[in-house]
Amino acid sequence: MIPGARLIILGRQGAGKGTQCVRLSRHYVVPHISTGDMLRAAVRERAELGLMAKEIMDAGGLVGDDIMIGIIGARLQRADAETRGFILDGFPRTVTQAEALDKITVDRPLHIAVDLDVPREVVLARLSARRVCRDCGTNYTATGMERQPWICEVCGGDVMQRGDDTPDAVNRRLDLYETQTAPLIQHFGSQDRLVVVDGVGHPDDVFRRLTTVIDDSQ
């Protein structure tokens, strides 16, 4: 067990970042900071940010860098992130965001950026079957045999398909990943701060691979 951690988890949509980040957050006792979850919460609460972001998110686009950098800057100033550290999921997504993050964390630099690597054809299949609890965000995989309405086992909320998991939006998001986010792998790699972890396999095996490389990076 390490005393806190400052991590970035990169990877295609559907690579299993959300599931693994929840487990890593418990293991290292650090907050899991997901910009996607923060934006979806703002949409649910009909906050100004949510009203602005919803259309972009539904179309599979990216919310502006300035807005996202502002959100993360404020979140990383909160006591839990200041003292324990953080696991960033979904941020940075562009090189501009990564450069801003380097400035925000200059006094508490990242331990490591992990690229959770799952091929495009595998994530496409996973995303078309992905269902998510609207209230707590727990992920499920649809088999077609579920009772409707589908109720979350964790919190009793409604389990549904995300608005941006439609085939068009998924393809757009994966294309954007290649053009905007994949250069981050180069950004962190050139600074020797990147480790690639194979994200294919049972979640327990992927988790073990992740903790091994994270512990080695401390």
Q: Which residues 6+ apart lie within 8 Å of 163 measured at CB?
A: 57, 58, 169
Q: Which is nearer to ligand AMP, 85 or 90 (CB)?
A: 90
**CA 15, 63, 92 angle in degrees (round to 5)?**
50
CB of 26 to ligand AMP, least distance (A): 20
Does 193 qualify as catalytic in the annotation? no
* 130 is a catalytic site residue: yes
Q: Could you tell me the smallest distance in angstroms from the CB atom of residue 147 to ligand AMP?
A: 26
**Given the complex with ligand AMP, which of 77 and 83 has the nearer CB atom?**
77
Q: Tell me phi and psi for residue 44, to 5 degrees.
A: -60, -40
**Which parts of this chain interact with ligand AMP (CB under 6 A)?**
13, 35-36, 39, 56-57, 60-63, 68, 90-91, 93, 97, 164, 173
**Gap between the Cα atoms of 96 and 103, Å rounded:** 11
The pairing of strands 5-10 and 85-89 is parallel
Residue 164: closest CA among 155, 173, 156, 153 = 173
Catalytic residue among 6, 12, 126, 173: 173
Q: Catalytic one among 17, 40, 75, 131?
A: 17
User: What's the min distance (Å) between Cβ of 173 and ligand AMP?
Assistant: 5
Please identify, using beta-carbon distances, which residue of 16 and 60 lies nearer to ligand AMP: 60
